[in-house]
Each structure stands twice: as C-alpha cells, then as structure tokens.
Amino acid sequence: MISSDDPQIQRKLMEILRVIYERESAVGARIISDVLKENGYPLGERGVRYHLRILDERGLTERHGYAGRTITELGKKELEDALVQDRIGFVLTQIEKRIYQTDFDLTSRKGLVIANIAIIEKDDLDDALGIIRYLAEHEMSCRVKVINEEATLPAIPIPEDHIAIATICSTTCDGILLKHGIPVNIKYGGMLRFDNNQATSYTDLIAYTGTSIDPMKIFISRSMTSVLEIVKTGSGLLLANVREVPDSARDESLRILNRAMDAGIIDRYEIGDPGSPVLGVPVNSGMTGISVSAGLNAIAAVQEVGIKVTVEPVAAVMNYSEFETV
C-alpha cells in the first residue's frame, strides 16, 4: 500500500492513480488537475506533478515523455486494494440503512421489512417453490414474494427469462428491536452447525465490519450450506448471524423475537446468557448475544438441489403484506 503519514496526500495519490487508470492512453498533469477539480480535489498542475513523481518513484506509474503517464500493473493492484479498503464497512452501513428504513409493527403486522432478492430462471420457479414449501412443512417457514422480470428492482435487474424471489431478511428483527428502544450491534454472519435438530456452534464467521461482501452472499456462492440435510437428518449447516443487545434488554428482546417468529419474520433464534458466548461466539461485557437464522436459508436450499441462484442480501425494503407463505 502507498505509505504516507498524511492521509490527505495518500488520498490525492490514489485519486491521481484513479484518473490515470480511467484513461485509455497517457495523460498529462493539466488534464489530471482538471479532472481532480471536478471531483472536489483542487490540485494545480504543479501539485499534480509533485505527486506524479512520487508515483513514478514507487513504480505505480510510467512516464511517456510529454504525452504523460500511464498506470503500471503494480499501480493497478494498488488501486484495486484501495478500492477494497474503501468498501470495508460498506455492507454494515447498508444493513444499518435498511434497518432504519423498516417500520414493521408487531401488533398490526403491517409495515416495511428488509428483503433479500434471489434470481433464478423462470423454468426453475415451480421446483424452487416446491423446495420452499417442503421447508415450510418441516417448521422452516419462509414468507416469499415472486417478482416478474418486468418489475423494477432497486437492487439488481431481472434478466430476460428469469424471475426473482424475495425473502424477508432476518435483520428485519434488528429494526424491530431498535423501534422498541433496544440498541443492536450486528456482529457476524456465519455458518451455524446443527446436530440432532439443535444449534450447537458456528463453524465459520465473517465480521460485518471487516468485509466488502455480505457474508451470506459469500457462503451461498461457496455452496457451504446443508439446509435440506438438517430437515432430513437433524444435522447440517445453515446461514445465521449474530448480534448483541444490552444485558438489561435481554428479557424484552426475548418477548419481541418470539412475536417476530409468530409473524414469520424469523423462523428460529438462540439467545445467550448475559456476558457469555452464544453458540461459541464471544460477546462484549454487559451484552447478550443473539443468533438468528438467516432469511436466505430457503434460497440456499433451492441451490442445494442444483438450481442456479444469484442472490443480493439486504437488497431493499418492501411491504410485509406483499409476502406470503407458499
């Protein structure tokens, strides 16, 4: 990584690299300066030349006489790493944004919930709904909404001859807790092990604060779940996430989560003792850990039978009334 004691200098170096990368040919200091000004970085030609010399010395750019600079392979890698760093924390920010947007009321069972979106081929819809129906018959209920390709989704476009299935995201329960005055700290997404129909421990964890890709998306893309095996044998792996609430809010959280289960927002959860690990996951002092099964487990099960799935977790907020049990 570019090293500098001054973060402002580092940011300017990265912005200059970005400008050079986006050009098809060598670019000079004047053009770079103009683009930087448009992007909110008022740096004159003289200042640009100073920073270009630093980039040259570090092998991130290459000079081509009066034509200007091009980016080197090392420079491309540097820029790619920087873009990843920029995205760290983006997933958690998106979740917190969606949580704030929810307004689901447990009493009236009306309001906005967070939705995951899964894209499958139209020809696979009946089989996919059959799997979801099978799960519902075995106490793994899932409320869904089928969305045709003509619909407009804010998250991802629906390709021709494909269809979308929306599921209620488990982080909706965090919005419900928050609306009841309970602060929630979402910590991890992971793979939760079940043995004899009991949750035992997490086998894999990804911290939401340290990832640029939603953990649920990562685990599904790697085909790590065995949701259908849990239904058949009582043992296997499913998607879940962990959050913390204050110890003082533990009992109230229990009551709220039970009501959320009754409404079909979540289908199962485990809550730890105050200050103690929940399913092996440590929690901070003064906090209680809560593990909630993810709303994408039904989609993971669909993938397990060989149906190709593209998922976008925490994709949008939708009205609860649009979802139904198949």
Each residue of 205-258: pLDDT tens digit?
Answer: 999 988 888 999 999 999 999 999 999 999 999 999 999 999 999 999 999 999
Domain assignment of residue 2, yes or no? no
Q: What is the CATH number of the domain that holds 219?
A: 3.30.70.1360
**Tens digits of residue pLDDT in 43-84:** 899 999 999 999 999 999 999 999 999 999 999 988 887 767
Query: Quick one: 45 and 162 in the same domain?
Result: no
pLDDT value for 130: 97
Query: Quick one: 25 and 132 in the same domain?
Result: no
pLDDT value for 81: 79
Domain assignment of residue 202, yes or no? yes
pLDDT value for 37: 84
Domain assignment of residue 159, yes or no? yes
Domain assignment of residue 191, yes or no? yes
In total, how many domains does the chain have? 2
pLDDT value for 154: 57
pLDDT value for 153: 67
**Tens digits of residue pLDDT in 190-219:** 999 999 999 999 999 999 988 888 999 999
Amino acid at 79: L
Residue 152 has pLDDT above 70, yes or no: no
Domain range enclosing 114:
92-325
Gap between the Cα atoms of 285 and 250, Å rounded: 14
Q: Find how far residue 80's CA is from the centre of its chain.
A: 20
When comparing pLDDT for 36 and 317, which is higher? 317
Query: Quick one: 59 and 170 in the same domain?
Result: no
Q: Dihedral through CA 90, CA 96, CA 100, CA 106, nearest 10?
A: 140
Q: Apex CA 217: angle with CA 214 and CA 220, to 5°?
A: 150
Gap between the Cα atoms of 45 and 28, Å rounded: 9
Q: Given pLDDT bands bounded at 50, 70 and 90, which one contains residue 273? A: very high
Q: Given pLDDT bands bounded at 50, 70 and 90, which one contains residue 1? A: very low
Residue where one domain finishes, among candidates 56, 87, 118: 87
Query: Quick one: 31 and 179 in the same domain?
Result: no
pLDDT value for 2: 47
Residue where one domain finishes, among candidates 37, 58, 87: 87
Task: Report the chain's mean pLDDT, rounded to a whole number.
Answer: 92
Residue 150 has pLDDT above 80, yes or no: no
